[in-house]
A and B are shown apart, each in its own frame.
Chain A
Amino acid sequence: MTLERLSLRDFRCFARLEAEFHPQVTCIVGRNAIGKTSLLEAIAVLLRLQSPRTGSLQYVIRAGAKGLVVDGFVDRRHLQFYYSAKRRKLALDSVEQKVTTSYLEIARVVYLANSDIDLVRGPAELRRRFLDFLGAQLLANYREILRSYDKALRSRNAYLKMYPSRPREVQAYTKVLLKFGHQLTALRAFLVERLEPEVLRAFAAISDRGEVVCLHYLHGATLDFERALQESAAEEERLRTTVVGPHRDDVQFLLHDQPADLFASEGQQRTLAIALKLAQAKLLATDFSRPPILLLDDVFGELDQTRRNRLLQQLPPASQQIVTTTSLDWLAELPAGRVCRLEEGPAPADRLIVDYPTGSRPVFRPKGPA
């Protein structure tokens, strides 16, 4: 699948931006804080209606603006999305969509960023968001089950917070919470199970050492969910919130049977984070007839040449890649594509995408045999 064009209004730092993309590689160069990451985030929001960086799109609207617009063409299909605190509207080929199903079937995305290392050593919330972002792209009912679980959880917590206590109302929502909780757990377990061999393969391909990686799905409710809920009743009473359940899920990474967040080196952690994203790309490429669009946010800068090349080789072949960077040192290693700069436009919050003027445009060498 190919993203052809993108136009933004009031998205993060952008008042407006128009961009076109190369079917293979588009490399966007720009100084720090010009909005390279936000541009990739906007692509993810356009294609998936959610940001891989934040849970709520509320914070993505440009300060002072009412709502954001992302608009673009993928494989000549026209996607439009408007989001404000009060309203959200989406259209596919200029026809407003009441449900997201057909809109979300147009494109799938993998987002690789420098900050991915936090997937290994950061809070569990990031790993849940990683699973959710993949799940929503891989499984038809993931989004709906996740939303239903979330709503049941918030409703149940609302009753737990009430004085005097409302055991019957809590119990009514407990049943719904259990139902969607079991479903969500099953889907996440399935995702982790499918990810593990791909992570192992990608990790080995990049690090080139025979290291053993394991993924452990740590349930937010040990034992079975129902019993865990019953046993946590006293704690719920004290904290007035649901303390066990899939909203506390986590994934543990083991490197040679040791937790990677504590024992792995920085380099190993970084490789593991990349391997997770590559596994995600692999699953999406395997399950669908066309590879996902890859968004690579400044990932090459931190890697040495060998790992950079290995990463490039591991990307699904024939996938469109949109890459941001601050430096051009390694550009010659990229296959053919377009290189452009992200710059300030005439108005204060406008941004422009400019092709490198001929002459200063870096020369591409065709990628040789591996």
Chain B
Amino acid sequence: MSRDLRLCRTEEDTIIMVMLSKKVDYPGPIRELVQQLRRLPGIGPRSAERIALWMVQTPDARATDIAAAISQTAARIRPCRQCGFFAEHDLCDVCADPARDRSALCVVERATDVIFLERTGTFSGLYHALGGKLSPLDRIGPEDLKLDGLLERVRRDRPEEVILALGADVEGEATASYVADLLSREGCRVSRLAQGMPAGAGIENADDLTIARAFRGRTAFRP
């Protein structure tokens, strides 16, 4: 640092050099924490800095609790051996629950989809997460999906119905068609979710395509 300063001749250069050499950042541990926080999704450089400072400055931050929660979660959570949903043990809470209806199996794309279906409280059977959808343009083929596990489960547990709760987009439909084809020889009923009107809303709240689909998929009215 001092050698750089000595090299400078003009006053202007000296000033620049002094500024560069005097540039002070946070101490190493804080910088390291900011770097780590920045890796989190949705956290930019500013937010990372704010969180790091909060942890250092706030007496109530209880950083050790946060650290413990983070490290324990990663260590204790794994995909369920059977269905792929998040689990603490070998099996997830759904698969381990003896009260669940074992005659119905619901196939979803991602493990997080299970949560959306569970929140509705309408389904009491078991799930199977494929871990993706058939999408050759993104280089995802059947070998990347948990299809062997699904076939094995269907053969072993003989569910009466397999419900395909996959998206209505092009890849979702192709995946549904692929899975239905795969299961057609297993002798179980395969169904898929209906498309139609959003519940609890007037017709004016649905977009044209939804109304059109709902219209085509209308059902008999039983008073």
Interface set of A (CB-CB < 8 Å, partner B): 101, 140-141, 144, 148, 151-152, 154-155, 158-159, 162, 166, 168-169, 171-173, 175-176, 179-180
With contacts A158-B136, A168-B178 taken as known, whether A176 is within 8 angstroms of B208 at the C-beta atoms is no
What chain B residues lie within 8 Å of A144 (beta carbons)?
Answer: 209
Q: Are B207 and A176 in contact (CB under 8 A)?
A: no
| Complex Cα gap A152–B137 (Å) | 10
The interface stretch among B30-38, B60-68, B74-82, B166-174 is B166-174
| Complex Cα gap A175–B175 (Å) | 10
Q: Are B134 and A169 in contact (CB under 8 A)?
A: yes
Report the minimal beta-carbon distance from B139 to chain A, rounded to whole angstroms.
9
Q: Are A151 and B170 in contact (CB under 8 A)?
A: yes
| Complex Cα gap A154–B208 (Å) | 27
Interface secondary structure of A, over-half rule: helix
Using CB atoms, name the residue of chain A closest to B141: A169
Between A144, A162, A176, A180, the greatest number of chain B beta carbons within 10 A of the residue's beta carbon is seen for A176
Interface set of B (CB-CB < 8 Å, partner A): 134-137, 141-142, 169-171, 173-175, 177-178, 181-182, 207-209, 212
Q: Are B178 and A169 in contact (CB under 8 A)?
A: yes
- Can you list 19 A-B contacts with CB-CB less than 8 angstroms, sorted by A residue number? A140-B208, A141-B208, A141-B209, A144-B209, A152-B174, A155-B134, A155-B174, A159-B136, A168-B181, A169-B134, A169-B136, A171-B177, A172-B134, A172-B177, A172-B178, A173-B134, A175-B174, A176-B173, A176-B174
What chain A residues lie within 8 Å of B175 (beta carbons)?
Answer: 172
Since A144-B209, A158-B136, A159-B136 are in contact, a sample of 10 more A-B pairs with Cβ atoms closer than 8 Å, ordered by chain A residue number, is A101-B207, A152-B170, A158-B137, A162-B136, A168-B178, A172-B175, A173-B177, A175-B173, A175-B174, A176-B177
What chain B residues lie within 8 Å of A140 (beta carbons)?
Answer: 208-209
Q: Are B174 and A141 in contact (CB under 8 A)?
A: no
Using CB atoms, name the residue of chain B closest to A152: B170
What chain B residues lie within 8 Å of A101 (beta carbons)?
Answer: 207
Q: Are A155 and B181 in contact (CB under 8 A)?
A: no
| Complex Cα gap A101–B170 (Å) | 19
| Complex Cα gap A141–B215 (Å) | 15
Q: Are A173 and B209 in contact (CB under 8 A)?
A: no
What chain A residues lie within 8 Å of B169 (beta carbons)?
Answer: 148
Q: Are B136 and A155 in contact (CB under 8 A)?
A: yes
What chain B residues lie within 8 Å of A173 (beta carbons)?
Answer: 134, 174, 177
What chain A residues lie within 8 Å of B177 (beta carbons)?
Answer: 171-173, 175-176
Q: Are A155 and B209 in contact (CB under 8 A)?
A: no
What chain B residues lie within 8 Å of A179 (beta carbons)?
Answer: 173
